[in-house]
Structure 1
Amino acid sequence: MTSLLHISASPRGAASESLAIAETFLEVYRESHPGDAVETWNLWDEGALPPFGPDAAAAKMAVFAGADPEGDQAVAWRLAKETFARFAAADRYLFSVPMWNSGVPYILKQFIDVVSQPGMVFSFHPEHGYTGLLVGKKATVVYTSAVYGDGRPPSFGADFQVPFFGGWLRWAGITDIEEIYFRPNLAVADADPGRRAAHARARDVAKV
């Protein structure tokens, strides 16, 4: 059975444009792939992610050095492994990613920091560098922003959202990526054409 994991980085619930587009995708996906398992992981839910602080960072460096984490470091490492296992169990991903301050919400960065571990998301060779280990998986990413948009002047912001998150996916070995954009300008009264286009693209991508 193929499984799809929707990872939501938006805390805005029914007011979220990225979640609305994701729900359109999921509705069509379920119709088009009736045998697939679909799960949503809201990163804002209480307990959805473990912290990645001093113990976890020390555990990561211990593993890099070929050692086994001990004590509190071992606990932090176990939580990171459990989080990664939930993530890695899926065959396909849907990410809803609103733009925050030209980048991604901090909760999504926390998710990335927790799961991006040696032997899980990547391997490392001292001569050849990193190799992503999540090969063979597919991802669809819904990117939204309320002010920034292509062709707007710098006073409307910059895009560190897509280069960062898309770069992380490819670094992790996920190269089969579909992107859906909704980037209205808050100063523009009518955002409906762009909204309709984003939902239409979500329906098309979900059918494949």
Structure 2
Amino acid sequence: MTKLLYLQASSRKRDSRSSQIATAYLDVLTAANPDLEIDILDLWDTELPAFDGDKAAAKMNVIKGAEQDGVGQTAWDEIVAIADRFVSADRYLIASPMWNSGIPYRLKHFIDLVHQPGILWSLDREAGYQGLLTGKHATLVLTSGVYAPGVAEPAFGVDHHAAYLRMWLNQAGVQQVDEVRFQPTMLTGDPAGDLTKALEAAEKLAATHGYV
């Protein structure tokens, strides 16, 4: 059975435009794939442990091929338990608003926890990062209040949002990445009409994905 992990990065719940657009995408995708397993991870309702010194030390032990001590093993086991939920998915749907030209800190926190050596990547001294997630697909739903691609940048923001998420996914081995944008949400002359267009774009994208 195909599994889709849906990461909700907005703190605005039902008022979130990114979540509304992602739901429109999911409705069409699940209609075509009633057996699709949906795992929803609301990052604002999920307790995420700090990536503290013990976890950083455990990560370095993995990179160096060193044995973990008791504290390090406990820290690493906690990371693995969280990362397994991400790795076990076949597809990803990430709904993220832009915060200060980047991503919400809760999403960054999650990425910092799961993006680990031997889990999402390995490192070759000559070739660089080698992604370990193969054959997977991601869809990004991206919103921003005032930023829009190609519009008076950087006065209205710089894209460390989509660019960062794509870089992270690619580095982990996820090469198939689609996106739906509603940008900007505040400076548009027809916010309701533009939201409708974004919802329709999400539905059309889901339809092109067909059976998964």
Superposition TM-score, scaled by structure 2 size: 0.93
- Aligned equivalent of 1:170: 170
- Aligned equivalent of 1:121: 120
Q: Structure 1 140/176 Cα, relative in aligned 2: closer, same or farther at 3 Å?
A: same
Distance 2:113 2:159 in 1: 24
RMSD over aligned CA atoms reads: 1.3
> Is contact 1:4-1:91 (8 Å) kept?
yes
- Aligned equivalent of 1:132: 131
- Aligned equivalent of 1:67: 66
> Is contact 2:5-2:40 (8 Å) kept?
yes
- CA offset at residue 79 of structure 1? 0.9
Distance 1:14 1:79 in 2: 31
Structure 1 residues 169-208: aligned runs within 5 Å: 169-207=169-207, 208=209
- Aligned equivalent of 1:34: 34
- CA offset at residue 118 of structure 1? 0.9
- CA offset at residue 189 of structure 1? 4.1
Percent identical pairs in the alignment equals 43
- CA offset at residue 27 of structure 1? 1.2
- CA offset at residue 78 of structure 1? 0.6
> Is contact 1:32-1:206 (8 Å) kept?
no
Which runs of no fewer than 5 residues in structure 1 stay unpaired?
none
- For 1:17, the aligned partner's letter is R
> Is contact 1:184-1:194 (8 Å) kept?
no
- CA offset at residue 185 of structure 1? 5.0
Distance 2:76 2:147 in 1: 38
Q: Structure 1 170/199 Cα, relative in aligned 2: closer, same or farther at 3 Å?
A: same
SS for the counterpart of 1:73 is helix
Distance 1:134 1:120 in 2: 8
Distance 2:198 2:67 in 1: 47
| CA-to-aligned-CA distance 1:116-155 (integer Å, 9 cap, x gap) | 1111100112222210011100110001001111232222
Aligned residue pairs, count: 207
SS for the counterpart of 1:178 is strand
- Aligned equivalent of 1:148: 147
Q: Answer with 151-160 or 36-45: which moved more.
A: 151-160
Distance 2:186 2:46 in 1: 31
- CA offset at residue 46 of structure 1? 3.6
Superposition TM-score, scaled by structure 1 size: 0.95
Alignment of 1:14 onto 2:11: no
Structure 1 residues 71-82: aligned runs within 5 Å: 71-82=70-81
> Is contact 1:146-1:183 (8 Å) kept?
yes
Q: Structure 1 11/22 Cα, relative in aligned 2: closer, same or farther at 3 Å?
A: same
SS for the counterpart of 1:67 is coil
Q: Answer with 138-147 or 60-69: which moved more.
A: 60-69
